[in-house]
Amino acid sequence: MEPIDPLAPLTPPEGGDHEDSIDRIRRAWSSLRPEMDTSVVGTIGRIIRASRHIVMLSDEALEQFDINRGEFDVLSALRRSAVPLTASELARSLVTSNAAITKRMVQLERSGLAVRERDDRDGRVVRLTLTPAGVDLIDVAVPAQLAFEESVAAVIAEPRREQLEETMRILLAELERRTAD
Amino acid sequence: MEPIDPLAPLTPPEGGDHEDSIDRIRRAWSSLRPEMDTSVVGTIGRIIRASRHIVMLSDEALEQFDINRGEFDVLSALRRSAVPLTASELARSLVTSNAAITKRMVQLERSGLAVRERDDRDGRVVRLTLTPAGVDLIDVAVPAQLAFEESVAAVIAEPRREQLEETMRILLAELERRTAD
DNA sequence: ACGATTCATTTTACCCGTAAAATACTTTCA
DNA sequence: TGAAAGTATTTTACGGGTAAAATGAATCGT
């Protein structure tokens, strides 16, 4: 199982932009193993690294609301849903385990931001809803989070940004197809 | 603190491609709060989600080598470095904590894939190197990982892929500048 | 109608990460 | 020179995630 395109050249950093950690990693590999095609880390590797940075920074931004990213994801999913979600539905929609949803809901109930209620029709199911305090919090936290993300994305000017969105939709759709089994 | 561009329309999925989870999330928000500009999740949100999927899938791919992603990152960083790295250098280069490096190195020493040696000149420092077994393992695992990533990136055809790389370099360089403090 | 099966959620036992304290060594400078 | 400050790593205490087992409820098939 070898890389597909055997001799791709290292793309040099473009225009006025600076070298990043991925350029350095690829340069190191290319001096050790010049025949190895590492071009794929130029896209996939950067997506993984960038995501780590964004998540770290946005976790800091969420501290002001005394919630972490897991709780933010639960609160905003419940807020934007027209109907109360079940634990499993929420787990699927957030690409996480049921156990994680239970933990987060325990914490959110302690903080008075959300509640779990047994379904009348099916006693196995719990329906998750926000409390008024939860609604108030997330209605401030979501715009703050969007503003933070916008401050990051601001370095990407049109038409790059539009292209990025289209390309990432193609990629994410493929990944979600794979994970669907 | 409100979103910057107040009334961006929802971009419909393009060409032959399918809707993804981010399209559904944005549609849900737009029906609850039509005035809120969620366009930034079209890029940043997709990067975060795609990264989660890629990492989950590649963790599965690493199971065949009996290592996890943290250990893979350590092994490949040591492999591509011309000189033995110190624990701190490695932590910085992998954007992780020193404590995480210690834990991973304990595990890698147990598996006989890497070793820590006190520096002669400075007794505080440890120099990290691969064992021959570690070199052998990572020399197989890196091409396998590249092949896996290539199988994911394959859905992105040129010239999109080249554009994606350039755009992600701009974004990652900015994020690394921010994190540098 | 009722035992077997299936299903939703929670609990358990663990893994892996971090921040901050502890440890061990080096450098600084009075 | 030697006490104080600085630095590199490890340890500790804990947070948050998962897989798999346990629990409790619904449904299926005879």
| CATH code at position B121 | 1.10.10.10
Residue at A4 is within a domain: no
Residue at B1 is within a domain: no
Whether the ipTM is more than 0.95: the answer is: no
Are A94 and A148 members of one domain?
yes
Are B99 and B163 members of one domain?
yes
Give me the number of domains chain B comprises.
2
Residue at A50 is within a domain: yes
User: Which residues of chain A are under the pLDDT cut of 50?
Assistant: 1-9
For B121-169, write each residue's pLDDT tens digit.
999 999 999 999 999 999 999 999 999 999 999 999 999 999 999 999 9
For A116-130, write each residue's pLDDT tens digit.
999 999 999 999 999
Residue at B7 is within a domain: no
Average pLDDT over every residue of B27-42: 96
**Residues of chain A contacting residue B160, judged by C-beta atoms under 8 Å apart:** 163, 166-167, 170
Are A152 and A69 members of one domain?
yes
For the ranges A57-66, B4-13, B22-31, B75-84, the lowest mean pLDDT is seen at B4-13
CB spacing of B29 vs A174 below 8 angstroms: no
pLDDT at B12: 53
Residue at A7 is within a domain: no
Does A99 contact strand C, using a CB cutoff of 7 Å? Answer: yes
**Residues of chain A contacting residue B93, judged by C-beta atoms under 8 Å apart:** 21
Residue at A13 is within a domain: no
Domain range for B53 = 20-64
**Residues of chain A contacting residue B80, judged by C-beta atoms under 8 Å apart:** 25, 28-29, 32
Return positions of chain D under 7 A from a protein CB: 6-13, 15-20, 24-27
Return the structure tokens found at A180.
């669907």
For A40-66, write each residue's pLDDT tens digit.
999 999 999 999 999 999 999 999 999
Residue at A15 is within a domain: no
Average pLDDT across chain B, whole number:
91
Nucleotide minimizing C1' to CA distance for residue A85: C8
Are B95 and B143 members of one domain?
yes
Domain boundary among B10, B31, B64: B64
Number of H helices, E strands in chain B: 7, 3
Are A55 and A78 members of one domain?
no
Are B112 and B96 members of one domain?
yes
Out of B2, B17, B142, the one facing A169 most closely (by C-beta) is B17
Domain boundary among A8, A29, A63: A63
Residue of A nearest to B181 (CA): A57
Are A154 and A69 members of one domain?
yes
Give the residue, A22 or B15, on which the prediction is more confident. Answer: A22
Return positions of chain C under 7 A from a protein CB: 7-13, 15-20, 24-27
What does DSSP assign to residue A122?
-
A59, A165, A167, A158: which is closest to B45 by C-alpha?
A165
Are B52 and B133 members of one domain?
no
pLDDT at B82: 87
Are A74 and A38 members of one domain?
no
pLDDT at A12: 54
Are B49 and B70 members of one domain?
no
Cα–Cα distance for residue pair A155/A176, rounded to 1 Å: 28
Distance A122 CA to C3 C1' (A): 21
* B118, β-bridge pairs: B126
Are A51 and A96 members of one domain?
no
pLDDT at B8: 45
Cα–Cα distance for residue pair A145/A148, rounded to 1 Å: 5
For the ranges A9-13, B60-64, B81-85, B95-99, the lowest mean pLDDT is seen at A9-13
Strand arrangement of the beta sheet that strand A114-118 belongs to = A85-86, A126-130, A114-118
Cα–Cα distance for residue pair A50/B128, rounded to 1 Å: 26
Phi, psi torsion values for A114, nearest 5 degrees: -150, 160
Are B104 and B139 members of one domain?
yes
